[in-house]
């Protein structure tokens, strides 16, 4: 079973931040803001991604949030203001999730 997932991070070191972003992309997630990824993962890969992020970051300085969502909850999300970074997200990508 797959779940929708948001990954949101605040990582101070450029090298580590880039590695986390690269791993998110390897897991098939799409960048929707500079520090935000969105996508579907098999449920068992959610914990795997969390462990990978934990291994990369400095827990005293950095933060990574992984939020799983069911489809029903996801549809209830409200995007206000500018929303997604239009340089990263096109309408086709948004249509896959909203």
- The 10s digit of each residue's pLDDT in 77-95 is 777 787 777 777 777 777 7
**CA dihedral of 22, 27, 82, 16, whole degrees rounded to 10:** -30
Element (H, E) at 33: strand 30-33
CA–CA distances in Å: residue 6 to residues 12, 24, 60: 20, 10, 22
> CA–CA separation, 27 vs 97, rounded Å?
16
Confidence of residue 98 (pLDDT cuts 50, 70, 90): low
Q: pTM above the 0.85 mark?
A: no
Give the whole-number percent of the chain exceeding pLDDT 90.
Answer: 63
Per-residue model confidence (pLDDT) at position 79: 75
Query: From edge to edge, which strands make up the β-sheet containing 63-69?
Result: 30-33, 36-42, 2-10, 63-69
Domains of the chain are 2-97 (3.30.70.240)
């Amino acid at each position: 079973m797959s779940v929708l997932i948001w990954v949101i991070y605040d990582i101070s070191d450029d090298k580590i931040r880039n590695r986390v972003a690269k791993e998110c992309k390897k897991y098939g997630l799409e960048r929707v803001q500079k520090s935000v990824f969105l996508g579907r993962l098999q449920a068992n890969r959610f914990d795997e991604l969390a462990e990978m992020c934990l291994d990369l970051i400095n827990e005293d300085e950095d933060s990574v949030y992984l939020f799983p969502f069911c489809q029903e909850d996801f549809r209830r999300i409200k995007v206000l203001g500018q929303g997604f970074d239009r340089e990263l997200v096109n309408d086709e990508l948004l249509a896959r999730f909203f």
